[in-house]
Amino acid sequence: MSDSFSPDAWKQKVRDDIRGGAELNTPFILMNTLAATIASYGLFANSPAVIIGAMIVAMLLGPITGVALSLVDSDMKLLLRSIATLLAGSISVMATAFVIALLHKDIPITNEILVRTSPNLIDLMIALAGGAAGAYASVSPRLSVAFVGVAIATALVPPLCSAVILFAHGELSLGLGAFLLTFTNMVAIQFACSLVFWFTGFRRVSHRSELSLLTFLKRNAVSITILCVLAVFLTGSLHQNVSRQLFESNARFSLAREMQQFAGNYVAEARFETQASTDTPGRTIFRAVVRGPLEPSADDVRSMERKLPSPPDGTSLELRVRFVKTVVITRDGHIFEDVKLGTEE
């Protein structure tokens, strides 16, 4: 192996590439502005394919990797430059998304925006794994070509654009959730990159000494502390999400079972809405669209409501049934045994 491809030479090349990626320049701002434009319109169009395109174009991963390397290499100059570049890139993304959100304020909030408003422990694990994969791809000669593909998993621009769009629509609580997802990704990616750099030998303090594990932990103390706090918070969020999903699934099943007493009736659609209150625990409204030939009475709805499970957040449950009369008529008259009404003729 020639000297130009020796391990030391390769590590120096990786360091130079990472430092170059942490530079604040016109192409960096331009690419992140374009990424924010693509992501914002992809979010408005509810198009995952377009959003993935924005993930590939974005360059916010560069300065985060620079922060990770600076902590391992004890390079204060690189640390400050990387943080400044990351802030400038984030501001350019937020400014672009805010302008687009104002121009299209009449477009409703889509599901692709909403799915980025409730981060949990799973998102933290994905960010850690994605950051580790990105760092390993960047230090491995055989895997460096996969770096762009890894950027898809370590997406930062879409949740940041989601936060700004929600802020522009006045949805502060949802916007903060999307912003928390962005912050979680940034911190997790940085720590995972630092960890990979340390394990792969990028732990030089000077040419004569190496970074010990204790020193590494001290330098990453802020990231580790933030990650521990996020892990506790996001674990609680994950538990709440799972409890909510189980409640909604059980409520749908219970209502469908109760509807069986009405021949031919079935639950066509079910939605849940939580209404907060300042002086009471609030209430969860279970909106169900029921189709069939037999209209349930108010007493029937009251009886069904009592048999539904209680919401896990302590709110009271209110069942609202929107009945759509539907009948199946044959030459012999009405039939009621077809539960799906029209799917089996």
DSSP string, 103-164: HTTTSPPPHHHHTTS---HHHHHHHHHHHHHHHHHHH-TTTGGGHHHHHHHT--HHHHHHHH
Q: For 3-219, give the CATH class.
A: mainly alpha
Convert the pLDDT of each residue in 16-47 to its tens digit.
Answer: 888 888 899 999 999 999 999 999 999 999 98
Residues forming CATH 3.30.300 domain(s) in the chain: 246-335
Q: Exposed, middle or buried: residue 163 (CB in 10 Å: 0-12, 13-18, 19+)?
A: buried
Whether the Cβ atoms of residue 309 and residue 254 lie closer than 8 Å to each other: yes
Q: Yes or no: is domain 246-335 CATH 3.30.300?
A: yes
Measured N-to-C along each axis, helices 76-103 and 61-73 cross at an angle, to the nearest 10 degrees, of 160
| pLDDT computed for residue 84 by the predictor | 94
Alpha helices in the chain (DSSP H): 7-21, 26-44, 48-57, 61-73, 76-103, 111-114, 121-139, 147-153, 157-168, 172-199, 213-219, 221-259, 298-307
- pLDDT, position 205: 46
- What is the distance between the alpha carbons of residues 102 and 19, in angstroms, rounded to a whole number? 36
**pLDDT of 143 higher than 80:** no
Confidence at residue 141, expressed as pLDDT on a 0 to 100 scale: 66
- CA 91 from chain center: how many Å? 20
8 Å CB contact between 293 and 326: yes
pLDDT value at residue 339 = 47
Q: Which of 68, 38, 74, 73 is nearest to 56 (CA)?
A: 38
Q: Is the pLDDT of residue 2 over 60?
A: no
Question: How far is 139 from 325, CA to CA, in rounded Å?
Answer: 65
What stretch(es) of the chain map to CATH 1.20.1080?
3-219
Q: Are 288 and 300 in contact (CB under 8 A)?
A: no
Q: pLDDT tens-digit profile of 262-291? A: 877 888 889 888 876 555 667 899 999 998
β-pairing, 209-210 vs 266-275, is: unpaired
The residue among 174 and 208 whose pLDDT is bigger is 174
Mean pLDDT in residue range 295-309: 91
Average the pLDDT over 139-165 and give the result: 70
Has residue 206 got a pLDDT over 80? no
**CA–CA dist 81, 338 (Å, integer):** 68
Contact 102, 161 (CB under 8 A): no
- Mean pLDDT within 178-189: 89
Cα 2 to Cα 13, 138, 139, 140: the distances in Å are 14, 21, 18, 17
Start-to-end Cα distance in the chain: 74
Residue 83 has which token pair?
Answer: 């943080």
